[in-house]
Every structure is written in C-alpha cells, then in structure tokens.
Amino acid sequence: MENLPKPIVQIRQVTKSYHRGEQWVPVLTNISFDIISGEFIALMGPSGSGKSTLLNLIAGIDKPDSGSLKVNGIDIATLSEADLADWRAANVGFIFQFYNLMPVLTAFENVELPLLLTRLSRGERRERVELALSMVGLTDRVEHYPSELSGGQQQRVAIARAFITDPVILVADEPTGDLDRASANEILAMLERLNSEMGKTIIMVTHDPHAAKSAHLIRHLEKGELDVTN
C-alpha cells in the first residue's frame, strides 16, 4: 500500500448545476476520480459535457453543489471566498485559452503579478521572473506589452505566470485553442517539459485530440458524467 502513488486531487461524488432561466441544468453528476501527483491529464468531451466546469472546480474558481473536492488534502469546497483566494494564489497556476494577460503590464510585470501576493523581496521577484521567462524562451521580450507579442509568445508568458509561484497544480483550459499548429506544438512541448522536468501536475481541458496526446491520461466526459468506456 505504501508504494501506491499519492493522489493530489480527490474528487468524490461531485455534482454541479447551473441556473438557466427558471430551470436548474445539471452540468456534472456524481463525478468521482483521483489525479495522481505529477500526472498530466487531459479532460476531453464535447461542448457542454462539463469538462471546463470540472476544471474550474478543481482550480477553486467555482464551488460544487455537493460532494467533496480535496486538493493536496484540503477540501476546497468548504473554504470561504477569502481563504479560497489565498489557496489559489499558493496552489494553482492558470493557463487560459485567450492568455488573459494584463494589457497594461509588460511581459515581465505580468509574470511578476502572482508574486506580489507573496512575501518575496523585489530582488527575489526579479530573479524568479527572469528565470521563468528564460525557461519559456522570452528573455528578449521582457519589456514587451502583450499587444507587441504573438499569440504563442503571449501563451508562453501566461505559462511563466502560471508556474512562477511553484503551484501544486497547473490548470490549462484549451491552452492551444487560439493558436496555429506550430505555436500549439511549442506550448504543448512546454507543458510536457513542466510535467516531466519540474514534476508539475497538469490538468488540461482540450477539444483537440492532438493536444490530448501530450497528456499521460485522458478522461472523457459525456453529459456531465465520466465516460468509463474510454
């Protein structure tokens, strides 16, 4: 038993529904599964299958209606909004489909942003940001604003911002959805490196079977339920 890999995410009987008009529409129904530490998992499924909702719940930006959702031993469904914000800052790195960079901040400042919530000194922050930007190959774009970068470069900045705080999990929602094939491949290679070299647990939502191949494990969702046949 002691040699079994440790689950970093434990999802148990999680349900979630949304209010649309006068009706409650179920999005996730009794979802239960574990994600092992150091795993690179892809969540796939058709539109409306609930994969993004599940990712949002794991990332702590949404709350389930019922069930428990433990990340690194903490049931995040029970945390208050303020505690959840602190928890996200320390434990989750976000990679969005449309990068979600602050347009008024440079690449350096965007990557530095999550570190402002830590106790690191200015010098320590600078050191970390420079290292992160060099890891994503953007040392020559430090002072550029997002509007001065290509889509692929912006997503690399977003990846640097995601891992700068050394989070427990990285969540990526369609990280290649807005990119051409070459840029998408670069981003996927970068995610694979983060997983293999830095041991980051990555949970990625994607429509793209090619992108999903980068993951070690693919989970399919169908109408809010895990498709166990795949």
Partner 1 sequence: MHFLKLILRNTLRHKLRTSLTVLGLVVAILAFGLLRTVVDAWYAGAEGASSARLVTRNAISLVFPLPINYQERIRRIQGITAISHASWFGGVYVTPKNFFPQFAVDAKTYFSLYPEYLIPPADMKAFLTDRKGCVIGRKLANTYGFKIGDTIPLRGTIYPGAWSFTVRAIYDGAEAGTDTSQFFFHWDYLNETMKKAVARRTDWIGVYVIEISDPDRAAEISTEVDAMFRNSLAETLTETEKAFQLGFVSMTEAIVVAIRIVSFLVIFIILAVMANTMAMTARERIAEYATLKALGFGPYFLAGLIYGESLAIALAGGVLGILLTFPVADRFSEQVGTLFPVFGVSLETIYMQAAAAIAVGITAAILPAFRAARVPIVEGLRSIG
Which residues form the interface with partner 1 (CB under 8 A)?
56, 59, 61-62, 82, 85-86, 88-90, 92, 94, 96-98, 100, 102-105, 109, 112-114, 116-117, 161, 178
Kindly tell me which of 112 and 208 has the beta carbon lying closer to partner 1.
112
Kindly tell me which of 88 and 141 has the beta carbon lying closer to partner 1.
88
- How far, in Å, CA of 12 to CA of 97, rounded? 27
Nearest to 65 by CA among 16, 31, 28: 16
Half-sphere exposure of 185 (CA within 13 A, CB side): 2
Q: How far is the CB of 54 from partner 1 (least distance, A)?
A: 12
Q: How far is the CB of 152 from partner 1 (least distance, A)?
A: 17
Kindly tell me which of 35 and 92 has the beta carbon lying closer to partner 1.
92
Kindly tell me which of 180 and 227 has the beta carbon lying closer to partner 1.
180
List CB contacts of 204: < 8 A, sequence separation 6 or more. 40, 41, 42, 43, 171, 172, 173, 175, 191, 211, 212, 214, 215
The helix-helix angle for 122-135 and 151-163 (nearest 10°) equals 130
Phi, psi of 83 (to 5 degrees): -65, -35
Six token digits for residue 37: 């530490």
Say how many residues make up the chain.
230
Helices (H), the chain: 51-59, 81-91, 107-112, 122-135, 151-163, 181-198, 209-212
Kindly tell me which of 98 and 198 has the beta carbon lying closer to partner 1.
98
3-state secondary structure of 114: helix
Q: How far is the CB of 96 from partner 1 (least distance, A)?
A: 7
Q: How far is the CB of 94 from partner 1 (least distance, A)?
A: 5
Kindly tell me which of 36 and 90 has the beta carbon lying closer to partner 1.
90
DSSP 82: H
Nearest to 157 by CA among 193, 84, 103, 196: 103
Q: How far is the CB of 7 from partner 1 (least distance, A)?
A: 24
Kindly tell me which of 151 and 189 has the beta carbon lying closer to partner 1.
151
